[in-house]
Amino acid sequence: MDFFDYLGNVPEYLRDEWRSYLDLAIDHAQIVVTAILIATVIGVGLGVLTYRRPPAAKVVLTVTGTFLTIPSFALFGLFIPIFGLGSRPAIVALVMYALLPIVRNTITGLRSVDPAVTESAVGMGLSRGQRLARIELPLAWPVVVTGIRVSTQLTVGIAAIAAIVNGPGLGGPIFQGLRATGTQRGFNLAFSGTVSVALLALLFDLLFQVIARLTTSKGLR
């Protein structure tokens, strides 16, 4: 049997099983969303704290950059003794992977605010906090959202690997399928899981286009 023979049998399989894939996709989306929310809070926070301090910014970017180089398979495994099994180690790992794009874009966005805008804000008597909340973050926002979007794409894929720590989501069928390579059942599982992950990533991307549009001032578009 070749690839197309296997493929031909997939529709029949999904007709019976699509509900369980929908459930898995929802679980998958849940850990991704949780991880991204946490990473956004931490990442934007780190960006805000370091964008005016180049040495500190460099440390943060180097550390979060290093996280990305750790093979995900290994990282999930390392977390078992610390966080046990399930979604907890998965979310911690995903947060680590999601940090770099968010931190980097926050720093870039905040640094790209026109100095004349900052000067006039200071000159008008906006305090440090008011400047950040009313001027700098809203102006940096389109760049920050792009960072969050990249992180989301990244984590949707990596979250599949969370299955090895018994994490929830679409990684389950993929790993099961890989264990049964060479059989129709194995193909059904791996293929359906992979395509679902891709579809989910696509959906998130659309969602972010809508979010970016709704949360960016008309004056910046």
Partner 1 sequence: MTDASRSPEPMIRLESLTKRYPGQAVPAVDGITLDIPKGEIVVLVGPSGCGKTTVLKMINRLIEPTSGRVLIGGEDVTRADADELRRHIGYVIQQIGLFPHMTVAENVGMVPKLLHWEKQRIAARVDELLELVGLDPAEYRDRYPKELSGGQRQRVGVARALGADPPVMLMDEPFGAIDPITRDRLQNEFLRIQADVRKTIVFVTHDIDEAIKMGDRIAILREQSHIAQYDTPEAILTAPADGFVEDFIGAGAALKRLNLTRVREVPLDHWPAASVHEDRARLRRLLAESEQGSLLLLDEEDRPLRWVTARDLAREREPLHRVGLPATAVVEPHATLHDALDEMVTSTVGCAIVVDRRGRYQGVVDLGTVTSAIDEMRSDVRRRDRAVAEAEAAPGDAVGEVG
Which residues are CB-contacts of 75 (< 8 A; sequence separation ≥ 6)? 93, 96
Stretch that binds partner 1, among 67-75, 77-85, 88-96, 213-221 (CB under 8 A): 213-221
Size, binding site for partner 1 by CB under 8 A: 21
Structure tokens, 71: 């093979």
Alpha helices in 51-136 (DSSP H): 54-69, 72-83, 87-111, 115-123, 128-130
CB of 183 to partner 1, least distance (A): 57
- Contacts to partner 1 from residues 19-48, by CB under 8 A: none
List Cα–Cα distances, 141 to 18, 34, 125, 135, 217, in angstroms. Answer: 37, 20, 22, 10, 9
Q: CB–CB of 211/140 below 8 Å?
A: no
- Residue (32 or 121) nearer to partner 1, CB: 121
- Residue 183 is a binding residue for partner 1 (CB under 8 A): no
- Residue 138 is a binding residue for partner 1 (CB under 8 A): yes
- Residue 133 is a binding residue for partner 1 (CB under 8 A): no
From the list 155, 189, 192, 185, the residue with the least C-alpha distance to 175 is 189
DSSP assignment letter at 181? T
Stretch that binds partner 1, among 6-14, 133-141, 158-166, 194-202 (CB under 8 A): 133-141
- Residue (210 or 220) nearer to partner 1, CB: 220
Stretch that binds partner 1, among 47-55, 65-73, 130-138, 186-194 (CB under 8 A): 130-138
Structure tokens, 4: 């197309």
CB of 138 to partner 1, least distance (A): 5
- Residue (66 or 130) nearer to partner 1, CB: 130
Structure tokens, 160: 């599949």
- Residue 80 is a binding residue for partner 1 (CB under 8 A): no
Determine which residue in the list 122, 133, 198, 207 makes contact with partner 1, applying CB under 8 A. 122
Determine which residue in the list 1, 26, 117, 202 makes contact with partner 1, applying CB under 8 A. 117
Our CA dihedral for 162, 167, 169, 173, rounded to 10 degrees, sits at 80
- Residue 215 is a binding residue for partner 1 (CB under 8 A): no
Considering only CA atoms, give the Rg of the chain. 21
- Residue 144 is a binding residue for partner 1 (CB under 8 A): no
